[in-house]
C-alpha cells in the first residue's frame, strides 16, 4: 500500500517547481550544439627559442611521468604505421622525378613517431644533415647551438647524435604547455609577421611548409618573406630569381633527358591552409582540427597529441566540425576525389610532355628559343602540379587555392606544348 500522503505529494511538487525555477533540474533535454555555439580558438603569440645558449634537449620520454596523458596519446601515433607507395599508385612520377631521390623511393609519411626510421630506411640517398631538419629534436638542438654550420654536417655524423625523434621539443622547447618556434628559419622568414600568426599554427608550420636548401650554406630555407609573399605564385617567382653557386638558375636537380631545371616542392600545408581562399584559417588552428581536447578518466581535460585527420576523430567531429557541417566526410571525399582526378590528368600530361620534349631535342626539331621557353614552362607547370600533389590534404585544406594551382599547371603545360608542336 502506498503510504505517501497528499501533503507529501504537494510538498514534493512545490520543491520540484522551485528546482525548475532555480535551474537545478530541467524538464527539457539538452539541445544539440550549433554553429552559434562555436568559440574561435584564442590567439596565442608564439615564443621563439633562443640560439647559442647551450640548449640541452630533454627527450620526449622524460616528460612521460609529469604529463602522462599527453605522452600516452603521443605514443598512439605508432598506430599510424601504414605506408602507401606513391610510385606504385602514380607511375608517372618516376618520369617527373627522374634523376631525383623521389623517383627511387617515395612513400606516404607514417605517424610522427616513425620519422627517423622512415628517413634512414627510405631508399633515397642522403648526403647532408639538413635532411634531419624536421625529423628529430636532436638536430633542432644542434642548429640552435651551432648555427647554420649544422646543416652542412655529414648525414652519418648527425645520425650518430640522434637521441630523440620528432618530439616535445619541436613545439615546446623544454617548456611544456608553452608553444615555441624552435626552427630559426621560420622566425626569420616571417619577421614582424610572426606575431600575426597563431602559435598553434606556427608550431606545425615549422615542418609543414615549402622549403629548399640554400645553395651556399645548405641551410633549410623557406620561400616566403612575410605574409605578403605567401602564395605559391610568390614562391615560384622567388625561386625563379635564385642562382646557384655557378650562376645558373636555382634548381633541385636537372632532368637529364630534357635539360629542365626542376624544383621539388615539399609539403606546403601551412601556406595552403593559411593562403587566399581558405574558409577556416580565421577561426580554426591546426591543433583544433588535428588534435582537439580529450577528457581523461580522472576528468582532466588535455590537448590530445595523437595527430589524426578530423574525419578519424569522433571527438573533434562532434565538438567542432559537425556544428557547421551536416556531412563533412562526404564534402571532404568529394573535394579529394576531384583533386586526385585532376592531379592524375595533369601528371600523365606532364609525363607525355617530358617524352615529347626529349624527342624534339634528340631530333633537333625545336629552336633554341622555343627550347628555352618550353623548359621554363615545364619547370613552372610541374611546380604548380607538385604543390598540390605533395600537400597532404588533397584539396581539403583550401580547395580554391588547390584549383588555382592546378589551373596554373595546366596553363604552363599548354604553353610548353605550344613550343614543341
Structure letter (DSSP) for residue 341 = H
45 confidence band (pLDDT: 50, 70, 90)? very high
pLDDT at 154: 95
pLDDT at 417: 98
Percent of the chain predicted with pLDDT > 70: 90
Q: Long-range contacts made by residues 315-320, C-beta under 8 angstroms, separation at least 24?
A: 316/288, 316/289, 316/290, 316/292, 319/33, 319/292, 319/293, 320/38, 320/284, 320/288, 320/289, 320/292
pLDDT at 222: 93
Nearest alpha carbon to residue 351 among 419, 418, 415, 258: 258
25 confidence band (pLDDT: 50, 70, 90)? very low
Quickly list DSSP for 155-185: HHHHHTT----S-HHHHHTT-TTS-EE--HH
Residue 205 maps to a domain: yes
pLDDT at 219: 95
Give the C-alpha separation, 344 to 362, whole Å: 27
Give the C-alpha separation, 43 to 200, whole Å: 9
Find the mean pLDDT for residues 280-297. Answer: 91
Residue 133 maps to a domain: yes
Residue 135 maps to a domain: yes
Find the mean pLDDT for residues 49-69. Answer: 94
H helix and E strand count, the chain = 17, 8
More confident residue, 120 or 90: 90
pLDDT surpasses 60 at 15: no
177 confidence band (pLDDT: 50, 70, 90)? very high
Find the mean pLDDT for residues 290-313. Answer: 92
- CATH number reported for the structural domain that contains residue 402 in this entry: 1.10.1130.10
Residue 317 maps to a domain: no
Residue 20 maps to a domain: no
399 confidence band (pLDDT: 50, 70, 90)? very high
26 confidence band (pLDDT: 50, 70, 90)? very low
Angle ∠(341,98,107) on CA atoms, nearest 5:
60
Residues 84, 86, 91, 94, Cα dihedral to 10°:
-140
Find the mean pLDDT for residues 121-147. Answer: 90
Give the C-alpha separation, 248 to 44, whole Å: 42
Q: pTM for the whole thing?
A: 0.89
Residue 137, domain extent? 47-278+327-420
All three cell numbers of 270: 601551412
Residue 166 maps to a domain: yes
Percent of the chain predicted with pLDDT > 90: 73
Residue 306 maps to a domain: no
pLDDT digit string (tens) for 228-268? 988 999 999 999 999 988 999 999 999 999 999 999 999 99
193 confidence band (pLDDT: 50, 70, 90)? very high
pLDDT surpasses 50 at 14: no
Q: How many CB atoms lie within 10 A of CB 43?
A: 12
More confident residue, 70 or 24: 70
pLDDT digit string (tens) for 337-377? 999 999 999 999 999 999 999 999 999 999 999 999 999 99
Strand ranges (E), 64-163: none
Give the C-alpha separation, 399 to 391, whole Å: 11
Find the mean pLDDT for residues 46-74. Answer: 95
Find the mean pLDDT for residues 66-75. Answer: 96
141 confidence band (pLDDT: 50, 70, 90)? very high
Split into its structural domains, the chain has a count of 1
Burial of 158 (0-12, 13-18, 19+ CB in 10 A): buried
Residue 27 maps to a domain: no
pLDDT surpasses 90 at 319: no
pLDDT at 243: 92
Q: Based on C-alpha coordinates, what's the Rg of the chain?
A: 26
Amino acid at each position: 500500500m502506498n503510504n505517501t500522503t497528499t501533503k507529501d505529494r504537494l510538498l514534493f511538487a512545490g520543491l520540484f517547481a522551485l528546482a525548475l525555477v532555480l535551474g537545478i533540474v530541467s524538464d527539457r533535454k539538452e539541445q544539440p550544439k550549433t554553429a552559434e555555439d562555436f568559440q574561435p580558438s584564442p590567439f596565442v603569440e608564439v615564443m621563439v627559442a633562443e640560439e647559442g645558449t647551450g640548449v640541452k634537449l630533454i627527450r620526449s620520454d622524460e616528460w612521460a611521468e609529469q604529463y602522462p596523458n599527453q605522452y600516452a596519446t603521443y605514443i598512439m601515433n605508432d598506430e599510424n604505421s601504414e605506408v602507401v607507395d606513391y610510385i606504385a599508385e602514380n607511375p608517372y612520377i618516376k618520369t617527373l622525378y627522374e634523376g631525383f631521390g623521389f623517383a627511387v623511393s617515395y612513400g606516404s609519411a607514417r605517424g610522427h613517431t616513425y620519422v627517423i626510421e622512415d628517413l634512414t630506411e627510405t631508399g633515397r640517398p642522403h648526403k647532408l644533415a639538413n635532411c634531419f631538419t624536421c625529423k628529430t629534436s636532436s638536430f633542432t638542438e644542434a642548429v640552435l647551438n651551432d648555427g647554420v654550420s649544422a646543416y652542412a654536417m655529414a648525414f652519418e655524423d648527425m645520425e650518430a647524435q640522434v637521441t630523440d625523434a620528432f618530439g616535445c621539443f619541436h613545439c615546446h622547447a623544454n617548456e611544456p604547455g608553452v608553444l615555441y618556434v624552435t626552427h630559426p628559419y621560420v622566425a626569420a622568414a616571417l619577421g614582424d609577421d610572426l606575431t600575426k600568426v597563431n602559435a598553434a599554427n606556427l608550431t606545425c608550420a615549422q615542418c609543414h611548409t615549402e622549403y629548399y636548401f640554400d645553395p651556399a650554406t645548405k641551410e633549410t630555407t623557406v620561400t616566403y618573406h612575410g605574409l605578403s609573399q605567401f602564395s605559391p605564385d610568390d614562391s615560384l617567382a622567388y625561386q625563379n630569381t635564385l642562382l646557384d653557386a655557378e650562376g645558373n638558375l636555382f634548381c633541385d636537380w636537372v632532368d637529364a633527358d630534357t635539360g629542365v631545371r626542376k624544383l621539388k616542392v615539399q609539403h606546403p600545408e601551412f601556406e595552403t591552409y593559411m593562403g587566399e581562399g581558405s574558409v577556416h584559417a580565421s577561426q580554426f588552428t591546426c591543433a583544433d582540427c588535428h588534435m582537439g581536447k580529450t577528457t581523461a578518466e580522472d576528468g582532466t581535460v588535455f590537448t590530445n597529441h595523437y595527430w589524426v585527420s578530423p574525419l578519424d576523430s569522433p571527438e573533434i567531429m562532434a565538438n567542432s566540425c559537425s556544428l557547421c557541417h551536416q556531412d563533412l566526410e562526404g564534402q571532404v571525399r568529394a573535394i579529394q576525389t576531384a583533386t586526385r582526378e585532376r592531379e592524375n590528368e595533369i601528371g600523365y600530361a606532364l609525363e607525355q610532355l617530358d617524352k615529347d620534349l626529349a624527342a624534339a631535342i634528340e631530333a633537333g626539331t625545336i629552336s633554341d628559343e622555343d627550347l628555352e621557353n618550353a623548359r621554363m614552362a615545364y619547370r613552372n607547370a610541374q611546380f604548380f602540379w607538385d604543390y598540390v600533389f605533395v600537400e597532404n590534404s588533397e584539396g581539403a585544406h583550401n580547395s580554391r587555392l588547390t584549383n588555382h594551382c592546378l589551373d596554373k599547371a595546366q596553363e604552363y603545360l599548354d604553353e610548353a606544348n605550344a613550343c614543341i608542336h
